[in-house]
Each structure stands twice: as structure tokens, then as C-alpha cells.
Chain A
Amino acid sequence: MSCINVNHLSKSYGSVNAVDDIVLSVNSGQVFGFLGPNGAGKSTTIKLLTTLIPPSSGSLSILGVDAVKNPLNVRHKIGVVLQQPSYEPTLTVEKSLDKYGMMWNVPKKIRKKRMEQLLQDFDLVEIRKKRNEDLSIGQRRRVQVAREFMHDMELLFLDEPTVGLDPSARRKLLDYLKNKVKTGLTIFYTTHILSEAEYLCDEIAIIDKGKIIAIDSPNALKSRFGKEKTIKIHLLETQSNISALLSGISDCKINFETGTNIIIHSEQSELVLLQVLKILNENNIQIEDLSAVPTNLEDIFLKMVKENASNN
């Protein structure tokens, strides 16, 4: 069952189409990643989906509610962590959580229980009495994300929630989110950090210049767009004639760095590697290190955005 249905949604500011005729469907109980370069339209899309701004055209259904006609009904059911920091400077961490729960009409007893749990889960116990204005950027971000779990929701929008977090806090948050999804929560997640998307997301959409250029699971995207593999060979000694020796190998692109490093890009990487090894062996050239770099989402993302730019 899908909890977000977007049909030909557009948002224009004057002559600029920030979001251009996007069609999107997000299934319940999964993490949906929304990726794109700066200015691609990610934040505008989040603002449209969270009913902060109305669309210029198109229709939008969130959790079965028409979000254009009934934005308040939608907002009762969702949680939102926006990209920009949001906090009340004079409140302490625990007061921030409690007041946020109160704003969502969560009964006092439940608020107290949830607050204690969230202080633990987000490593906020030690700073619970500190005022928001005295926190570091990372601590403030953790409070901002933790605060959203004070209330019940069916769908959570997270707009680059790990900005400012150290690697350990980042991983902890991703694992926390994974566990929440297991309880039935759906997450709409935007990020610049593609390893995060790869780790967390069940499905990914890539947006560029306001248009969605791909939607699929990370693995499907890899097999569709990531056939080319990279092999790195580090030679024991500098070989001045290496370029000439390998020039006869077809179906690949070979780069040489400093006479000892060979980088091979090919869709037939296994066959090409065999040929390279054979040539090196025949010429008594010793290898110090060899590695195959798996295709990651970042490569695919960069490739797709580049291709989209050249197509335009």
C-alpha cells in the first residue's frame, strides 16, 4: 500500500520550475531515499509533501488524504525534521522535548516516559539540563531529531538529518531509524551522503533540475547503471613502457598514474583483468597490490546527474 502518491506535481517560482511534473509513489513501511545535487528541488519537494507550500499544479495524496485540500489533516499524521536547525534557544534539552510533546497534545505521563527513553536513545542524558543555545551543532541536531519522536506518526520526513553529526552519532541514528521502520513507520529521507542512502533506503529516487531521473532500489540502480567496474593495480616498480604494453586491450579505459598505478574501467572487467595479468606476467612485471572497486551509489548518482546535464 502506498502512503505517498504524487501525480504530475509542479512548483514554479516565476519562470523557474523548482519541481517539474514529478510522479512518485512511496510504499508504506519502507525508507524512501530522495537524492539530488544542490538546488535539484529536494527541499521544495519536501515542503510540498509536508504541505508547507502549495503546488502550482498536480495532485498530492499523503496517507490517503488529499494534501492540497486538507493540509492540516495530513500534518496531524506526519513528522518533519527540516534541513535547517529549529530550536527554542532558552529551553533546556528536556524542556524542549517535553514542550514539543505538549504541542502535539501528547499526555503528560506518556511525554515523561518518551522523553526519558529518547534522552537515552540519542545520548542526551548528560546534556539534558543544558539550554539549546549552549549546545554544539551536532547536539542540537540530535535534539531536533529526537524531539520528532515525542509524538506518534505514520510517516516521517527527514531532510538531511545527519548534517553536523559525527560518524558514530550518524550510524546510531541510521540504526535507530531502521528499527523504527520495522515497527511500521515510513520514512522519506533526503541526503547528500550516498553511503547513508545505500545503507538505509529500500527505494531511491534521484531528482535533478526539478525532474525525477530514476526511481528504483539501490541494487537495481546499481545493476541498471553500474555495469562498469573499476580495477586498481599498483606495480612494485615504475614501468615506463606499461602504456604501450597494455594499449592493445579493447573494451576498456585504462589510466596510468605515476608509472606504478593502473586504473581500469570496464563493463567486461573480469576479461580485461585476465588480459592485463597475462601481459604483466609475460613481461615479468610484479604487482604489489590489486583491488576491485565495487560500484557504489555515489558513482551511479554522479554518472546520472552528469548524463542528465549533458542531455539538457
Chain B
Amino acid sequence: MHPIIRLVNRNLTISLNPGFLIWQVIFPLIYIFVAGYAYAPLINDVPFGGKDLDYPAFLASGMIGFNIMNSTLISGILIWNDRRHGMFEQIMSGPFTRSHYILSNICTIGIIGLVSASLIAVVGYPVFFESVEFSFITIPIIIFGAITGSILFGSLASIISTRIHSSEGFNVIINTVFLFFAFVSTAFYPADGAPEPLRTAFYLNPLTYLVDVIRAGIFGTITEFVIIEMIILVGIASVLFIIASKLLTKLDF
């Protein structure tokens, strides 16, 4: 078995516990079925890519991107725990290179991101099925979004985990950054209609691009703007991945 596959196996074993899986499903379900239907009378149809979506459908599709981001926190937690509990040094003294370690983390978050997206897509399907337009183009776009988003946010969490030394600092920074990403984005509400400074802030946030790409994939609304968003997503993910890899390569024992 290839060293990366062995490390992915190990990463998945230590990351996936029943508590995490329940949290990954229950948390978005509450958003979709409680917040979605509670806010529906207040929020009329939401325009997206030439379509009018009802709010629960809009929110459910946004929750896929949100969930991908949340699940990639695992990447940071993995690295943090490995450093804190001596496993990083132990693994590096075994039959592995740093490249194996970095790539195994990326594969792990890619798998968790995809599974996470699939879970919410299945659970949310009854909510947005009336507007769904799957095709040969849209499904690969959703997969592309899930993988690119996982790499992007996983790299970001990895960067934070390599720079912060205390567990309190790590938790505060991760939660602050991810809270900003979650609520200053189009995951919960559309950019159109928001005050101009807030709308600008939405588009400084990679989660907005991820959510837009996933929504475009689900509702079949691929526009030129969505393609630009995909390019931006790849660009940010690549830059963050390179930075995360460099930092992990330089990590001292």
C-alpha cells in the first residue's frame, strides 16, 4: 500500500468519530429545516443565476459549501494534534516524507469534504429538488467545488495550525476566521440587496465563491461570472496550498 494511502487511512480513523459525524449532519439540518422554514415567510424568492429560488432551497444549497468548510477544519486539527501529541515527529521518523504527510492531509480533507457535501446534498435534496437541474456539466462542477473548497479551507486551517502554539490561540483564531467566513458570505443570504460595503466584503471571502459554484452546479445556472469564480477559487486554493506546504516543510522538531 502506498505511504499516502496508509496515512489517509490513519487520518480518517482518528478524525471520524460518531460525534463528529452527527455534528456534521445535525448542525446543517437545523439550519436547513429550522432557520430555512422559519425565515421563509420573511424572505421572498431569492434570485440566483436567472432563477427564483425559495429560501429553504437557497439555504440548503449554501449549507453544502458551509459544511465543506466546516469539515476541513479537521485538517488543522489533525496537524495541531499531531504536533501537540508528538505524532508528527513520530511519523517523520518512520517510512514517510513530509510530502507524504502533506498530500495525505489534502486527500483526507478532499474525501471528508466530498462525503460531507454528499451528505448534505442527500439530506437537502427534498428541499431543493424542484429547482434542481443536474447535467453532465453540473455534477462535475459540484465535485470540483467540493474538492477545491476542501483544499482551500484545509490549507488555511493547516497554515493556522502551523503558526499557533497554544491550544487556546488555535481555537480562538480558527473559530473567529471560520465565523467570519460563514456569516460574511452568500451561504445564508444573497449578495444582492445587502449594503454595498457588506456586498464587497462577501466577495473578499472564498466561501462566497465556493457556495456560488456549488449552487450553480445544483441549479444548472452556469454563467460567465461563475466560471470567473471557479478560476478565483482555484487561484486562492493553489496559493494557500503552496503556503501551507512550505510551512509544513519548514516545521521544526
| A residues with CB within 8 A of B | 47, 50-53, 72, 75-76, 78, 80, 82, 84-91, 95, 99, 102-105
Contacts and interface: CB of A to CB of B under 8 A. Distances in A.
B89 interface: yes
A51 B85 CA distance: 20
B168 to A, nearest CB: 17
A102 B2 CA distance: 11
B122 to A, nearest CB: 27
Contact of A82 (B14, B93, B95): B93
Q: How large is the interface on B (under 10, 10 to 19, 20 to 34, 35 or more residues)?
A: 20 to 34
B86 A91 contact: no
B166 interface: no
Given A90-B17, A91-B13, A103-B6, A52 B89 contact: yes
Contacts of B81: 88-89
Contact of B93 (A51, A89, A95, A102): A51
Given A80-B90, A85-B86, A87-B87, 16 more contacts: A50-B93, A51-B93, A52-B92, A80-B93, A82-B86, A84-B86, A85-B85, A86-B86, A87-B86, A88-B14, A90-B17, A99-B10, A99-B13, A99-B14, A102-B6, A103-B7
Contacts of A105: 1, 6, 95
Contacts of A103: 6-7, 10, 91, 94-96
Contact of A75 (B6, B93, B253): B93
Contacts of B86: 82, 84-87
Interface of B is mostly: helix
A145 B85 CA distance: 15
Contacts of A85: 85-86
Nearest to A72: B97
A289 to B, nearest CB: 48
A87 B97 CA distance: 19
A102 B253 contact: no
Contacts of A51: 93
B95 A86 contact: no
The 10 closest A-B pairs by CB, nearest first: A86-B86, A86-B90, A80-B93, A84-B86, A76-B95, A50-B93, A88-B14, A52-B253, A86-B87, A103-B6
A86 B89 CA distance: 8
Nearest to A73: B95
Contacts of B249: none
